[in-house]
Amino acid sequence: MKKFIIAGIIPLLFACSAKNADENKDKVEQLKEYKTEMKVLKGKISKLESEVNKSDKKEIAINVNVEKLNVSKFEHFIQVTGNVEADKNITIQPETSGNIISIDIKEGQYVKQGDIIAQLNFSKLQNDIDEVKAQLTLSKTLFDRQERLWNQKIGSEVEFLTAKSNLEAQKSRLSSLEAQKDLAIVRAPFDGIIDEIHQKKGEMASPSVPLAQLVNINRVYVEGDVSETYLTSIKAGENAQLDFPAINYKTEAPIYRTSNVIDPANRSFKVRVNLRNPGQIIKPNLISIINIRDFIQNEALVVPSIIIKKDFKGNYLYIAEKKGKKMLAKKVYIGVSKTYNNSSMIESGLKLGDLIITEGFSQVVNGTLINIK
């Protein structure tokens, strides 16, 4: 049985060895083919290189514009959204309760400090005042008589002191009632315009119910939230530029104050800018864009931000450099310190007098032949 098995395996072994030999032969032939192809490719590459070199000799110069790099002032601003407020913008509320018997102003009316806004019913108070005045007259008469007797050493000291006490008590009560009567007359606490009247004649007024809105916007202020990042960069007294897009109005004013507390909710602090408002075109709650300068350098190397490109090595731009009789574009990597309003301040990579390519920069690469217009 074993003989038969061995006899069957031997042919298989011969067949496998023959197959391996064929495969090796195929690989040798394939290698020869690849070498032949490589030789052909090298010839084609050599031919193309010579053609490229010939075309290089006929290279057409790219027209560009350049600017000589000089020092200039660079400013950086931060932009904050602010809201207009007015210090003199109050809701008038009476100091006592009572029925409104008259409203002496109209909405939109200009009033001066002390002008009557409204009057409450004080008829009961007036009756009490009249009664006290009568009692005061009697007390004054009794005191005068008692005083004359006392000066003549007639009567007791107790009678004299009692009469004096009654007189002073009546005077005090009269003053109190007259003060209450004054509270029933609502007056303007400052000059301004009645913006809105909340109640009508005949309604019940009280200290908890708004009666009218009085506003004076000759002076207003704008307040905005600034990130704590700029806490050391922004100081009171520095100028801020304010833009009111809704009314197409721009102005400039110093920062009045910066808050001393950081808001934990948004990690910001408040800045306030006071404004004069002679034409009263700036209204409370109007939105303003505040531009605050946080950096300035009078002598800086500044280039247009649009000409700066970026690759995996960093920011770069092109300058014009003379090589022999040719002007070539040179790729220069730069360090950008700050960017604002389409201008960038360069901290490294350039020097004074460099010719910066400002037009045609997108058509050149390092070494491109250029022609300066």
Q: Are 105 and 115 in contact (CB under 8 A)?
A: yes
pLDDT bin (cut points 50, 70, 90) of residue 84 is very high
pLDDT at 125 over 80: no
If one compares 1 and 318, the residue with the highest pLDDT of the two is 318
Residue 132 pLDDT: 75
Residues 35-83: pLDDT tens digits? 888 888 877 887 776 666 555 555 688 999 999 999 999 999 999 999 9
Find the largest Cα–Cα distance for the chain: 172
For residue 272, the one-letter residue type is R
Residues 206-245: pLDDT tens digits? 888 899 999 999 999 999 999 999 998 899 999 999 999 9
Mean residue pLDDT of the chain comes to 84
Residue 369 Cα distances to 61, 69, 95, 197, 334, angstroms:
5, 21, 86, 77, 22
Residue 6 pLDDT: 44
pLDDT bin (cut points 50, 70, 90) of residue 140 is confident
pLDDT at 7 over 60: no
Residue 336 Cα distances to 83, 138, 228, 307, angstroms:
34, 93, 24, 12
Residue 244 pLDDT: 95
CATH assignment of 89-213?
2.40.50.100
Token pair listed for 94: 């009476």
pLDDT at 159 over 80: no
User: What is the C-alpha to C-alpha distance for residues 228 and 12, in angstroms, rounded to an integer?
Assistant: 85
pTM assigned to the model:
0.61
Whole-number percent of the chain with pLDDT over 90: 50
Token pair listed for 335: 């360090």
Residue 197 pLDDT: 92
Q: Are 262 and 268 in contact (CB under 8 A)?
A: yes
Residues 14-34: pLDDT tens digits? 444 444 555 565 777 887 788
Mean pLDDT of 169-183: 74
Residues 235-282: pLDDT tens digits? 999 999 999 999 999 999 999 999 999 999 999 999 999 999 888 899
CATH class of 62-77+298-372: mainly beta
Q: Which helix (H) or strand (E) holds 348?
A: strand 343-348
Residues 337-356: pLDDT tens digits? 999 999 999 999 999 999 99
Domain ranges of the chain: 1-55, 62-77+298-372, 80-87+216-295, 89-213
Domains 62-77+298-372 and 80-87+216-295 are alike in CATH topology: no
Mean pLDDT of 172-198: 82
Residue 196 pLDDT: 92
Q: Are 98 and 182 in contact (CB under 8 A)?
A: no
pLDDT bin (cut points 50, 70, 90) of residue 373 is confident
Residue 121 pLDDT: 78
If one compares 169 and 209, the residue with the highest pLDDT of the two is 209
| 80-87+216-295 to CATH, choices 3.30.70.1280, 2.60.120.10, 2.40.30.170, 3.50.50.60 | 2.40.30.170
